[in-house]
Amino acid sequence: MFESPPFARISQLVTRNSQLVTRMTSCKFSLTENQVLVPPKFSKPDEIQLLEQADIEFHASIAEVVNSWDNFVPEHRVFLRSAYLQALEVAPPNGMQSCYLTFSYDGQMIGIAACQVQHYRGDEPFNDEKLAQSTRFWDKVKVATQKFVTRQIRLNVMVCGSLLLTGEHGFYFHPKVNPEIAAQLLYKGLDKAAQEMGKRGKRIALFVLKDFSERTQKGLSPIFTDRKFYEFSIQPTMVLDIPHNWESFDDYLAAMSSKYRVRVKRAFKKGKNIVRKELNLAEIEENKQQIFDSYQNVAANAVFNTFTFTPDYFPELKRQLGDKFKLIACYIHDEFVGFYTTIQSGNELDAHFLGIDYQANRNAQLYLNMLYDMIRIGIDTGVHQIIFSRTALEIKSSVGAEPHDLFLYARHRNCIVNLFVKYFINSIAPKEEWVQRRPFKS
């Protein structure tokens, strides 16, 4: 994510007719050798000047650069630090490979980027079983058409960001780096990463940069849209802001209208037999297959999935993240009925993956109780926000989460194919019809 520079505005150094925005002269995704870049002068930020080159290095493993990487990335950016990245390397989703970029000037690191390469088959994300369960004729026609169009697509996608998370987890630059300069460096770095992956037998066809707030988008958009990236948004992420005066779950309840307080009490009554237990590493390891199978219940209920992880994912997260990662198992009458996970990243709590038994969900409102549990954890740990991600939008809004639009960018390396990227994305992007609920008092 770009950080706002704590010094006088320097964008006057960059004009539209300068070499900052180098126009593409061909369809190839590459930069000219004389493209001008700007690194920071850390001692005197007002003297930042345009220059011709910054050092960009490619790394196939986080182990190659772990010390300098962690010294540079702030501690609160958990999803960009080596512990989480190492967990993904050790237990990656099927078919996913990670790679990394470091940016430096005058021997000093000024930026990093974490990328994921995923082999993609156009028809893989679609859930045939879920489609067959649909009773709406036009839903079946729509998804069947999408599958027909995408069935022949086979390509390697390089994602700057995280396929497993929602939010700005792709790169970080020093706060003194002008956002448009950082975007230009990132663009050049992606080209280098694609070349290096090609040498390793992974020919990259499509670039995706994901999940940027409007603030970050302002720095990215002039650079990437000028280079024929398609800018788009999909379903919003759901975020619950926690006011500073919420010191307990009771304060959360007090902020609700009476209608929604009754709803909370009803959920608690139905879920009175739910027993929660936070599992340690040994317990997660021992029960990893059961946990994974429970997650698969949820994954199988989605029409569209972009990845499939393995049973080793959760144990590795606990091993690498320690207390920042929590896995809470849920039992009813000593029977395992589901779990949920959270990851604390600075002042944010990420509501990570979960699994549920749908019969228990019907009888005990298990999922709704899990959402309330995560809110309680967020308040107790003192975070400012809970990130609930992009699924189940309406029920998440009913507990107070608000929708936040995020921006993504995509570009195919073949300029002819790139003309159709917009239509391809629009055809497969998940769309959920929902009504936003507003549980809090006016």
- Is the predicted pLDDT of residue 86 greater than 80, yes or no? yes
Determine the pLDDT at residue 129: 52
Q: Is the pLDDT of residue 224 over 90?
A: yes
> Per-residue pLDDT tens for 169-178?
999 998 888 8
Domains located in the chain, CATH noted: 11-236+405-428 (3.40.630.30), 237-404 (3.40.630.30)
* Residue 347: alpha-carbon gap to chain centroid: 16
More confident residue, 129 or 106: 106
CA 391, CA 57: separation in Å to the nearest integer?
36
Other Cβ atoms closer than 10 A to 435: 8
Across 34-48, 148-162, 287-301, which has the greatest mean pLDDT?
Answer: 287-301
Identify the pLDDT of residue 264. 98
At residue 166, the pLDDT reads: 94
Tokens 């720095």, residue? Answer: 219
Q: Radius of gyration (Cα) for the chain, nearest Å? A: 23
The pLDDT value recorded for residue 63 is: 97
User: What totals of helices (H) and strands (E) does the chain contain, helices first?
Assistant: 16, 15
97-126 mean pLDDT = 85
303, 251 Cβ separation under 8 angstroms: no
| Averaged pLDDT for residues 18-25 | 36
For 36-46, what is the mean pLDDT? 40
Whole-angstrom distance, CA of residue 286 vs CA of residue 185 = 45
Res. 281: pLDDT tops 70: yes
Which pLDDT score, from 0 to 100, does residue 28 have?
38
Q: Is residue 159 over pLDDT 90?
A: yes
Mean pLDDT throughout 241-269? Answer: 97
Place 149 in a pLDDT band, splitting at 50, 70 and 90: low
How confident is the model over 369-389, as a mean pLDDT?
97
- Give the per-residue pLDDT at 404: 96
- Confidence tier at 197 by pLDDT (50, 70, 90): very high
pLDDT tier for residue 337 given thresholds of 50, 70 and 90: very high
pLDDT value at residue 304 = 60
Distance CA 115, CA 102 (A): 11
Report which listed range, 18-22, 218-222, 319-323, is most confident: 319-323
Residue-wise pLDDT tens digits, 304-334: 667 788 999 999 999 999 999 999 999 999 9
Mean pLDDT: which of 42-56, 88-102, 291-305 is highest? Answer: 88-102
Reported pTM: 0.83
Position 105 pLDDT exceeds 90: no
Three-class SS state of 298: helix
What pLDDT was estimated at residue 429? 76
Whole-number percent of the chain with pLDDT over 90:
69
Of 114-128, 394-408, 422-436, which range is least confident?
114-128
Q: How far apart are CA 385 and CA 402, in angstroms?
A: 11
Between 67 and 133, whose confidence is greater? 67
User: DSSP characters for 15-65?
Assistant: -TTSTTSPPP-SSSS---TT--B----SS-GGG---BS--EEEEESSGGGS
Q: Is the pLDDT of residue 391 over 80?
A: yes
Q: What are phi and psi for residue 365, nearest 5 degrees?
A: 45, 50
Residue 124: how many other CB atoms lie within 10 Å: 18
Averaged pLDDT, 146-150: 58
Q: Determine the pLDDT at residue 17.
A: 36
Confidence of residue 210 (pLDDT cuts 50, 70, 90): very high
The percentage of the chain sitting over the pLDDT mark of 70, rounded to a whole number, equals: 80
